[in-house]
C-alpha cells in the first residue's frame, strides 16, 4: 500500500489548523487536535503512526509544554519529532521548548515555502521510526474528537445564553483538573487514574446544560433573584440530568454517565443542605463534589451581572470558612495545597483563549503567503457565526456591530431569513435593512448599548421587524464589548433578535383578560381607575361625570331564579349600559351588581342622566329591573378619581334612602348619609348593600 506520512497539528484555533492543513494535505495525511488533552489522547492511539507533531504553546486543558512533558514521560519524544509553531517569541519560551525535546521552533507569521521545507526535513529524519496501524484506530480517534467538539458546542451555547464572560467552562475544566490531580496524589480511594481525570474534566463542561431551559430574563438578571426565581434556577441541575437520561443512544458511555452525575449533583453539599436530592457525604459522587467546588470558586472570582469579582485570597477564605456551603474535608485540604498554583493556572490558561481580533490579525498576515482552501475561507465566516446551527433551530437572527467601521454582520441563517447581505456597511442608511428595521429603532438600540455598563451590560428590548412583508415582534438581546479600558465607549455589539410574536400575542391576551371583567367583558375596576385618572389629569375645560350604578332588584333575582339566571341579567344590564354611551366613554363592572360609568359631556347633565337611566331600566326576560345611579361632576365635586368616586357613592346611597329606582347628583346635603346609615339595624344595612 502506498500511504502518506501522518502529521498531527495541535492548535486550539481551527483557522490555524486549517491553514497548516492547506499547506500539508497535498503530501501528508493530517490529523488535528484542538487542545492538549486531545493531543495526548491522539498520541496514545496513534503513536506508532504519527511522523510529526506540530504543536502550539497556548492551548486549553493542557498547554504545549505540558504535552511535551507527557511525551517525555511516555517515551514518545524519542520517536516522534515535535515542531513548535507559536506567536510566543520570548527567549524563555524557546529555550524551555528545546529543553523539553522540541526539534524546531517556528514563529508566526511564517512563509509557506520555508515551513514546508523544515517540515519535510524533520519528517525524513524520523521516517524509519514509524509504523502504520489499521483504519479502525483512525475511526476511534475521529469518534473521540467529535465527542469533544460536541461537548464544546453545547457548553458554549449555555455560556452564551447565560451572559457569561466566555471563559466559565474553561475555568471549570482547569479547576476540576487541578483538584483531581491533587486528590489523586494524596488519596487512593477514588481510583483517579489519568484517564479517569481526563474523563471527568471533559464531562465537567456539561455541568450547566440544564440552564438552556431557564428564561434569559432570570439567567441574566442583574440583581438578586427573588425566592420564586431562585426555585426556577435550581431546576437546571435536574433538567440537565434528564436531558442526558433522555438520549436515545450512548446511555452506557462512561462520559454520559459521569456528565449526568455532575449535572444533577454539582449543587449538593457535603452536609446534605444542597439540592436537588439533599445527598450528603460520600453519597455524592466525587466527580460532582469536585465540580461543585470548582463552580463556587469560579463564581466568586469572576465578575457577574449581579456582583463584582472577589480576589483569589478572599474566595479561598469564603470556601474554607464554610460561607459557601459544606465541602468534603479532604477536598478542602486539596484546595489549600493547590491554592496559589490554581490562581496562576487559571490566569495562564485564560490568557490562551484566542480572541476574534487576534484571529483576524493572523488571517491578514498569512493570507498573502498561503493558498487558502475553501475550508479555511468557510472557517473565517464561522468564527463570526459560531452559534449558527443553534440560531437556525431557534429562529434567532444573530448579529455583530462594529462601531469603528460602522459595519453590521448578520449570521448566515439570519441574513438569509431577513433577505439582506450578511455584511452591511452604514446600516442606518442601508435601504435593504431599512425595509425590515427602521433607522430609529437601530439608533435606539445602539444608544441603549452605549449607555450600558460592565456591571449591567445586557440590553433587552422589543422591536417591530417586517420580514417577508409580515410585521412581527422580535426581542433584541444584546451586550456591548469593551476594550482593555472599560471606561471608554464600547467597541462592538454582539446580540440576537428572537421571534417574540407568539409570546407577545399570549401576553397581550393575558393583559386584556386581566383588564376586563370575565363575565360582562367590561373594564375591570383597576383598569377603569387608571383610564379615568389619566383623563382627569388632562381634563382642561371639559365637563365630566362619574356615575356609580346599582341594580336594585338583583338580590331577588338570584334568590328566585338562581345564579345562572343572575349572570344572564348582569350581562344584559352591562350590554344596555354599554349601548347607552359612546365607545370613547369608560364603562366598568366594579363588583357584584355595581357598575361604573365615566362620560365627558356638553350641555345639561339631566338629559344625559335620564337617557342612561331609562336605557338600563326595564324588563329583562319578564323580570322588572330597577336601578339607582349616583353621579358626581367634575370639576364641581372634585378633580381626582378618588374625590369623584366618594361623592358618586354617597349620591348612590342617597338614592337608596329615598326609595331607589332613581338617579341623583351629589350635593353637600349628602355628607351625613354615611354616618346615618351606620346607625341602621344590621338587617337593613345588609339589604341595602347586596
pLDDT, greater one: 463 or 680: 463
* Predicted local confidence at residue 354, as pLDDT: 35
Is residue 8 within 8 A of residue 122, CB to CB? The reply is: no
Task: Compute CA 90 distance to the chain's CA centroid, rounded to the nearest angstrom.
Answer: 41
- The answer to whether domain 385-506 has CATH 3.40.190.10 is no
β pairing state of 618-620 and 623-625: antiparallel
pLDDT(216) > 60: yes
- Is the fold of 6-133 the same as that of 385-506? no
Looking at domain 516-688, its CATH superfamily turns out to be Reverse transcriptase/Diguanylate cyclase domain (3.30.70.270)
pLDDT(680) > 60: no
User: How sure is the predictor about 358, in pLDDT bands with cuts at 50, 70 and 90?
Assistant: very low
User: Taking the domains of the chain in order of start, what are their residue ranges?
Assistant: 6-133, 149-351, 385-506, 516-688
pLDDT(16) > 80: yes
Tell me if residue 269 falls in helix, strand or coil.
coil
Is 593 noted as a catalytic residue in this protein? yes
Mean pLDDT for all residues in the chain: 79
pLDDT(390) > 70: no
For the chain, what's the residue count?
690
Q: Calculate mean pLDDT across residues 71-92.
A: 84
628 DSSP β-pair partners:
550
* Predicted local confidence at residue 253, as pLDDT: 81
β pairing state of 492-499 and 543-551: unpaired
* Predicted local confidence at residue 341, as pLDDT: 81
Interhelix angle 168-186/286-301, rounded to 10 degrees, is 130
Tell me if residue 357 falls in helix, strand or coil.
helix
> What is the DSSP track for 15-71?
HHHHHHHHHHTTTSEEEEESSHHHHHHHHHHHTTTEEEEEE-SS-SSS-HHHHHHHH
pLDDT(150) > 70: no
470 DSSP β-pair partners:
467
* Predicted local confidence at residue 573, as pLDDT: 87
665 DSSP β-pair partners:
631
* Predicted local confidence at residue 545, as pLDDT: 93
- Out of 1.10.3210.10, 3.40.190.290, 1.50.10.10, 1.10.1040.10, which CATH number does the structure's domain 149-351 have? 1.10.3210.10
Looking at domain 6-133, its CATH superfamily turns out to be Response regulator (3.40.50.2300)
How many whole angstroms separate alpha carbon 214 and alpha carbon 163? 13
pLDDT, greater one: 618 or 45: 45
pLDDT, one tens digit per residue, over 169-203 is: 778 888 998 999 889 888 878 888 888 888 898 88
Q: Which of 593, 649, 667, 668 is an active site residue?
A: 593
How many beta carbons lie within 10 A of that of residue 559, not counting itself? 10
How many whole angstroms separate alpha carbon 264 and alpha carbon 284? 10
Determine if the peptide bond prior to 276 is cis (ω within 30°): yes
Determine if the peptide bond prior to 420 is cis (ω within 30°): no
How many beta carbons lie within 10 A of that of residue 585, not counting itself? 16
Amino acid at each position: 500500500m502506498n500511504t502518506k506520512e501522518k502529521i498531527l497539528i495541535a492548535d486550539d484555533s481551527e483557522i490555524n489548523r486549517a491553514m497548516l492543513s492547506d499547506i500539508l494535505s497535498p503530501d501528508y495525511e493530517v490529523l488535528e487536535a484542538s487542545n492538549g488533552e486531545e493531543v495526548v489522547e491522539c498520541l496514545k492511539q496513534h503513536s506508532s503512526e504519527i511522523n510529526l507533531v506540530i504543536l502550539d504553546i497556548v492551548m486549553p486543558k493542557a498547554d504545549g509544554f505540558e504535552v511535551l512533558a507527557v511525551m517525555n514521560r511516555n517515551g514518545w519524544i524519542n520517536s516522534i519529532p515535535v515542531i513548535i509553531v507559536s506567536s510566543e517569541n520570548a527567549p524563555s519560551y524557546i529555550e524551555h521548548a528545546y529543553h523539553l525535546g522540541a526539534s524546531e521552533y517556528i514563529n508566526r507569521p511564517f512563509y509557506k515555502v520555508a515551513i514546508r521545507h523544515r517540515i519535510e526535513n524533520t519528517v525524513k529524519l524520523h521516517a524509519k521510526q514509524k509504523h502504520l496501524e489499521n483504519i479502525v484506530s483512525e475511526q476511534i480517534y475521529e469518534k473521540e474528537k467529535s465527542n469533544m467538539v460536541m461537548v464544546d458546542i453545547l457548553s458554549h451555547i449555555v455560556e452564551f445564553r447565560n451572559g457569561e464572560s466566555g471563559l466559565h467552562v474553561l475555568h471549570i475544566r482547569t479547576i476540576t483538573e487541578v483538584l483531581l490531580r491533587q486528590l489523586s496524589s494524596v488519596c487512593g480511594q477514588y481510583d483517579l487514574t489519568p484517564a479517569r481525570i481526563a474523563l471527568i474534566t471533559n464531562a465537567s463542561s456539561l455541568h450547566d446544560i440544564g440552564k438552556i431551559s431557564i428564561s434569559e430574563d432570570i439567567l441574566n438578571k442583574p440583581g438578586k433573584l427573588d425566592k420564586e426565581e431562585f426555585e426556577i434556577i435550581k431546576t437546571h441541575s435536574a433538567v440537565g440530568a434528564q436531558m442526558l437520561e433522555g438520549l436515545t443512544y450512548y446511555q452506557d458511555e462512561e462520559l454520559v454517565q459521569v456528565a449526568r452525575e455532575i449535572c444533577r449533583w454539582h449543587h449538593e453539599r457535603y452536609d446534605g443542605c444542597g439540592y436537588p436530592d439533599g445527598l450528603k457525604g460520600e453519597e455524592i459522587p466525587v466527580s460532582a463534589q469536585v465540580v461543585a467546588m470548582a463552580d463556587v470558586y469560579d463564581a466568586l472570582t469572576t465578575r457577574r451581572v449581579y456582583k463584582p469579582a472577589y480576589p483569589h485570597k478572599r474566595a479561598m477564605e469564603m470556601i474554607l470558612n464554610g460561607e459557601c456551603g459544606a465541602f468534603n474535608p479532604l477536598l478542602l485540604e486539596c484546595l489549600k495545597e493547590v491554592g496559589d498554583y490554581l490562581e496562576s493556572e487559571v490566569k495562564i490558561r485564560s490568557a490562551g483563549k484566542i480572541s476574534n481580533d487576534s484571529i483576524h490579525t493572523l488571517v491578514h498576515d498569512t493570507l498573502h503567503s498561503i493558498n487558502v482552501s475553501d475550508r479555511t475561507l468557510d472557517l473565517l465566516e464561522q468564527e463570526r457565526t459560531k452559534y449558527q446551527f443553534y440560531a437556525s433551530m431557534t429562529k434567532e437572527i444573530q448579529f455583530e456591530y462594529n462601531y469603528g467601521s460602522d459595519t453590521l454582520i448578520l449570521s448566515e441563517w439570519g441574513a438569509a431569513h431577513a433577505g439582506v447581505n450578511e455584511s452591511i456597511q452604514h446600516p442606518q442608511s442601508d435601504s435593504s435593512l431599512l425595509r425590515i428595521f427602521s433607522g430609529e429603532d437601530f439608533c435606539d438600540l445602539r444608544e441603549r448599548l452605549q449607555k450600558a455598563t460592565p456591571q449591567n451590560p445586557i440590553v433587552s428590548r422589543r422591536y417591530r421587524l417586517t420580514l417577508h412583508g409580515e410585521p412581527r415582534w422580535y426581542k433584541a438581546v444584546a451586550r456591548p464589548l469593551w476594550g482593555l479600558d472599560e471606561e471608554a465607549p464600547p467597541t462592538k455589539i454582539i446580540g440576537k433578535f428572537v421571534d417574540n410574536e407568539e409570546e407577545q400575542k399570549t401576553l397581550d391576551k393575558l393583559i386584556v383578560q386581566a383588564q376586563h371583567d370575565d363575565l360582562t367583558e367590561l373594564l375591570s375596576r383597576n383598569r377603569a381607575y387608571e383610564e379615568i385618572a389619566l383623563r382627569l389629569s388632562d381634563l382642561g375645560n371639559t365637563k365630566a361625570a362619574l356615575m356609580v350604578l346599582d341594580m336594585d332588584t338583583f338580590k331577588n333575582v338570584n334568590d328566585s331564579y338562581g345564579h345562572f339566571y343572575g349572570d344572564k341579567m348582569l350581562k344584559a344590564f352591562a350590554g344596555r349600559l354599554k349601548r347607552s354611551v359612546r365607545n370613547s366613554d369608560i364603562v366598568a363592572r366594579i363588583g357584584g351588581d355595581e357598575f361604573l360609568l365615566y362620560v365627558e359631556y356638553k350641555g345639561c347633565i339631566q338629559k344625559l342622566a335620564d337617557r342612561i337611566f331609562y336605557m338600563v331600566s326595564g324588563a329583562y326576560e319578564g323580570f322588572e329591573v330597577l336601578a339607582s345611579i349616583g353621579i358626581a361632576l367634575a370639576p364641581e365635586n372634585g378633580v381626582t378619581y378618588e374625590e369623584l368616586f366618594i361623592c358618586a357613592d354617597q349620591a348612590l346611597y342617597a338614592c337608596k334612602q329615598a326609595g331607589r329606582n332613581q338617579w341623583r347628583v351629589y350635593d353637600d346635603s349628602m355628607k351625613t348619609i354615611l354616618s346615618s346609615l351606620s346607625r341602621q339595624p344590621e338587617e337593613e344595612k345588609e339589604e341595602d348593600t347586596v
